[in-house]
C-alpha cells in the first residue's frame, strides 16, 4: 500500500505518496517530475539513475524509498546554481561532452561526488570513479576532459 514519505530533495522537503518498497528513481521521476535521473537498467549496472544521497553517489533504481525517508537527495537539477550550470556542468557544456546525453546524468553526479571528496582527482582516479557508468555513444574522452577541467583547475566559472 502507498504511504506518504518525506524526502529532502534538492534543498526542500518533498512529500511523496508511494509504496515504501518502490525505488527512489520512480518517486523522483514520476511523483516529483524530475528529469535528471534516468531509468537505464533497474539493475544497478549502468549508472544512468545516479543521484547523491547525503553527498554520496548511489543508484536510485535499486534504492527503496523507505531507506531514504528524511534524508538528503540531490539530483542533476540540484546542481544548478542560481539558474546556471554549476562548474562541473559548465565544463561538460564547454567540452561538448554529450551525444545522446542519456548517461550524462550519471557521469556528472558520480564525478560531482568524486570532486567533492577529491577536488584534484587524477585522470586515473576519474576513470576508476566512473568505471560503473556506461556510455554507449562513446563520449568517454570528452567526459574525462570535462571532469579534468574542474580537477585540474581549468574550468570556467559557470554561466554563459
Residues within the interface to other proteins (CB under 8 A): 1-2, 18-19, 22-23, 26, 29-30, 33-36, 38-43, 45-46, 48, 75-77, 79-80, 83, 85, 89, 92-93, 96-105, 108, 126-128, 130-131, 133-142, 144, 160
- Min dist CB 148 to other proteins, Å, is 13
| Phi, psi (degrees; rounded to nearest 5) at 152 | -100, 5
**CA–CA separation, 123 vs 48, rounded Å?**
21
Which residues 6+ apart lie within 8 Å of 40 measured at CB? Answer: 46, 47, 48, 49, 61, 102, 103, 106, 134
Containing 56, the helix (H) or strand (E) segment is: strand 56-59
Q: Which is nearer to other proteins, 113 or 144 (CB)?
A: 144
- The Cα 75–Cα 107 span in angstroms is 12
Residue placing its CB nearer to other proteins in the complex, 43 or 70? 43
Residue 17 or 116: the one with the smaller Cβ distance to other proteins is 17
- Toward other proteins, which CB reaches closer, 139 or 151? 139
Amino acid at each position: 500500500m502507498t504511504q506518504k514519505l518525506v524526502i529532502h530533495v534538492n534543498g526542500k522537503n518533498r512529500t511523496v505518496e508511494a509504496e515504501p518498497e518502490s525505488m527512489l528513481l520512480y518517486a523522483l521521476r514520476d511523483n516529483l517530475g524530475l528529469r535528471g535521473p534516468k531509468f537505464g537498467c533497474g539493475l544497478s549496472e549502468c549508472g544512468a539513475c545516479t543521484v547523491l544521497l547525503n553527498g554520496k553517489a548511489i543508484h536510485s533504481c535499486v534504492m527503496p524509498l523507505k531507506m531514504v525517508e528524511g534524508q538528503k537527495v540531490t539530483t542533476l537539477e540540484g546542481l544548478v546554481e542560481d539558474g546556471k550550470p554549476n562548474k562541473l556542468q559548465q565544463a561538460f557544456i564547454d567540452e561538448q561532452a554529450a551525444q545522446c546525453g542519456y548517461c550524462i546524468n550519471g557521469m556528472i553526479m558520480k564525478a560531482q561526488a568524486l570532486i567533492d571528496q577529491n577536488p584534484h582527482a587524477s585522470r586515473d582516479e576519474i576513470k576508476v570513479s566512473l568505471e560503473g557508468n556506461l556510455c554507449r555513444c562513446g563520449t568517454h574522452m570528452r567526459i574525462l576532459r570535462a571532469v579534468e577541467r574542474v580537477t585540474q583547475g581549468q574550468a570556467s566559472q559557470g554561466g554563459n
